[in-house]
A = this chain, B = another copy of it.
Amino acid sequence: MHESLIKYISNHAVTPLTESDLEIIKKSFTPKKFRKRQFFLQEGEVCNQLAFIVKGAMRQYSVDGKGGEHMIRLSIENWWAGDRESFSTQTPSKYFIDAWEETDALLVTKNDFNDELKSIPAMMEMSRVLDERHAFALLNRVNASISLSVEQRYADLEKNYPEFLQRFPQHIIASYLGITKETLSRVRSQTMKK
């Protein structure tokens, strides 16, 4: 169960994990199963855990006044889930996070996570690398949203995250791109013709 997390940390750090590091990690990351549609976080709650996804898929989204869902982030195996802003600042989250598929995750609390960052160099390195990549991905998404057509944004997604298209239904992909499912359906059929 913890194997994929340990492999993941090793892959994203230069400092190797010691035996005692492994002990700490196994102790502080506790496995949890999520059923389809089960919430990991709800709007208004403070996010006090992060989840490493071992198997399955989760989504993070905001809900507007009319009940419409807007996909902020999609995560599958070997990705993290959690609202980083709420987690770091201990303020209520604006988002929901739930399991889209049956999911196996490893949960870590804020305290344990912070302790690990301090005592395990590899953990710190991995965390920095990921935060950095995450910021790059977000800026690219902002750039796409203000500079590309719907068709180009979809092509971008297909190129950069092809897994998403196979794991999530189109209405979720559409929401992630900031459009309706009908528009996505039409854009796709247009593109197919060419």
Number of interface residues of A (CB under 8 A): 27
Interface flag for A121 (CB, 8 Å): no
In the complex, what residues of B have CB within 8 A of residue A142's CB?
72, 138, 141-142, 145
Asked if B85 and A136 sit within 8 Å, CB to CB, the answer is yes
In the complex, what residues of B have CB within 8 A of residue A147's CB?
62, 64, 68, 70, 178
* Chain A stretch 79-130: residues in CB contact (< 8 A) with chain B: 84-85, 88, 94
Query: Could you mark each residue 172-194 of chain A with 1 if its beta carbon is under 8 Å from any beta carbon of chain B, else 0?
Result: 00011110000000000000000
In the complex, what residues of B have CB within 8 A of residue A94's CB?
143
Interface flag for A139 (CB, 8 Å): yes
**Copies of the chain in the assembly:** 2
Main SS of the interface on chain A?
A: helix
Q: Which 8 A-B pairs have the closest CB atoms?
A: A146-B178, A138-B138, A70-B147, A85-B136, A135-B135, A145-B145, A70-B146, A62-B147
Asked if B139 and A85 sit within 8 Å, CB to CB, the answer is yes
Asked if A139 and B88 sit within 8 Å, CB to CB, the answer is no
